[in-house]
Amino acid sequence: MTTRYSPAELAALTEFKVEVHDDRYEVEPILAGGGFLYDPQVFWNWADDGAHTAWAGPAGSILISDIGGQRSPGVNWNLGHGGLFRLHADNTWETVVPHGQGHQAGFFRPIIAPDGWGDFGGHMFLGSQIVPHRRGALFDHIVYRLAPGDDTPTAFAIPPRSGKAGGGISGALLMGVFGRRGTPEEDLFLFFCMHNTTIYAARPDGSVEPYIVMDGDDGNSGPVMPYRLFYADPLIVGEENMLVVEGKWNSNFGGEASHAFEPRHYRVEGRKVNPAVIESLAGGAGLRAPAAFGPFGGDSFRPENNGFISSVHWTESDDAVALPYTTEIMRRDAQGDEHVFASKIQAGQNLVGFAGDRMIVTNMGHSYSSGNFKDADGTVFAIRPKR
């Protein structure tokens, strides 16, 4: 039976202990456990994938999606879960999509289509389970879209089954990229499934096809289980528009439950994945801070999980345990050297984004949709130059 916690207990389980390693910056707690977020995920590349679109909103605001949560406390798996919210510069919140609206089973890492992408330029796209809860992670998933101004997602496509990994089932689906002009994937919307190790390509007409199958069978790339698909920072890899898979070679979604998170990075070449590790991306994808971020504006930042992430293989255990304070935020300077920028951040799944002069950091904590923890233990804090 799932243990339930009071807001005070959740706040204690998620106490902020963040330390910033530069006295020109300060930490700003925004939302502790016991609030209203379950598995929050801040928009990753907000400046390029949101702040210039119809979703921009007031200056200094940013969108944060939530995988978990329903309209009322508790869990009813006949209803959907997940929502979308805007954090404003004054730390007030605006509901864009209420928890459970549209009955989608999750709200996974949404991205925004570029202007001119058929009839859906400026629409937001997100992944979701078709079947809620942990068992739904192993069933086929669905891509939803959300038009600017709407509060209810609309089904866009269900990816076809592909490859031999995971029985070909399109489970554990995450958004990737919209292909950039002049690249082989131009005008394509690429997303991927961890369960069947497949990158899919969608077009504005709603058609979807397997684009790169990474099960290592019949001449396919891999086997590699993907965690992320992104364009690498040209200042780090030395060229523009390098499409990269972050993943783990010789791994699969159905592997032994583990918190271990030690991915590598591989270059996409046409419709293959080069098995050579991109050493310059060791540690993970970074995000460049805007000039407004003060002395370190222009530097690249990334979360360092130090081998622990709560959602790898969606482990069900550890419900009553406060997650360790082992995550750090690393800063990469203009010379390519990395430095610890912040430490003593609670582990789980931390993401960073930038809005105005602030770095916004979200943490999922325990997994709502795929584990046994059903209370609002999601947290949000900011780091900003001292004012």
pLDDT in tens, 221-273: 989 989 899 999 999 999 999 999 999 887 766 555 455 567 899 999 999 99
The stretch 2-19 carries a mean pLDDT of: 91
pLDDT at 315: 45
Q: What is the pTM of this model?
A: 0.94
The stretch 85-98 carries a mean pLDDT of: 97
**How does residue 311 score in pLDDT terms, banded at 50, 70 and 90?**
low
Q: Report whether pLDDT(20) > 50.
A: yes
Q: Report whether pLDDT(274) > 50.
A: yes
Our CA angle for 96, 371, 14, nearest 5°, is 70
pLDDT at 239: 94
The stretch 276-287 carries a mean pLDDT of: 90
pLDDT at 346: 94
Residues contacting residue 346 through CB under 8 Å, at least 6 positions apart:
14, 16, 17, 322, 323, 324, 325, 327, 363, 365, 379
pLDDT at 379: 97
Percent of the chain clearing pLDDT 70 (strictly above): 92
Q: Report whether pLDDT(320) > 90.
A: no
Q: Report whether pLDDT(310) > 70.
A: no
Q: Report whether pLDDT(314) > 50.
A: no
The stretch 151-160 carries a mean pLDDT of: 94
**How does residue 318 score in pLDDT terms, banded at 50, 70 and 90?**
low
Q: Report whether pLDDT(33) > 90.
A: yes
User: What is the CB-side half-sphere exposure of residue 142 using CA atoms within 13 A?
Assistant: 18
pLDDT at 261: 62
**How does residue 2 score in pLDDT terms, banded at 50, 70 and 90?**
low
pLDDT at 383: 98
Our CA angle for 101, 103, 106, nearest 5°, is 90
pLDDT at 317: 47
The stretch 130-147 carries a mean pLDDT of: 85
Q: Is the pLDDT higher at 226 or at 74?
A: 226
Q: Report whether pLDDT(198) > 50.
A: yes
Q: Report whether pLDDT(124) > 80.
A: yes
pLDDT at 373: 76
Q: Which of 55-59, 177-181, 342-346 has the lowest mean pLDDT?
A: 55-59
Mean pLDDT of the chain: 89
The stretch 151-165 carries a mean pLDDT of: 94
Residues contacting residue 169 through CB under 8 Å, at least 6 positions apart:
138, 139, 140, 161, 195, 196
For the chain, the three-class secondary structure string (H helix, E strand, C coil) is CCCCCCHHHHHHHCCCCCEECCCCEEEEEEECCCCCCCCEEECCCCCCCCCCCCCCCCCCCEEEEECCCCCCCCCCCCCCECEEEEECCCCCEEEEECCCHHHCEEEEEEEECCCCCHHHCCCEEEEEECCCHHHHCCCCEEEEEECCCCCCCEEEECCCCCCCHHHHCCCCEEEEEECCCCCCCCCCEEEEECCCCEEEEECCCCCEEEEEECCCCCCCCCCEEEEEEEECCHHHHCCCCCEEEEEEECCCCCCCCCCEECCEEEEEECCEEEEEECHHHCCCCCEECCHHHHHHCCCEEEEECCEECCCHHHCCCCCCCCCCCCEEEEEECCCCCEEEEEEEECCCCEEEEEECCEEEEEECCCCCCCCCCCCCCCEEEEEEECC
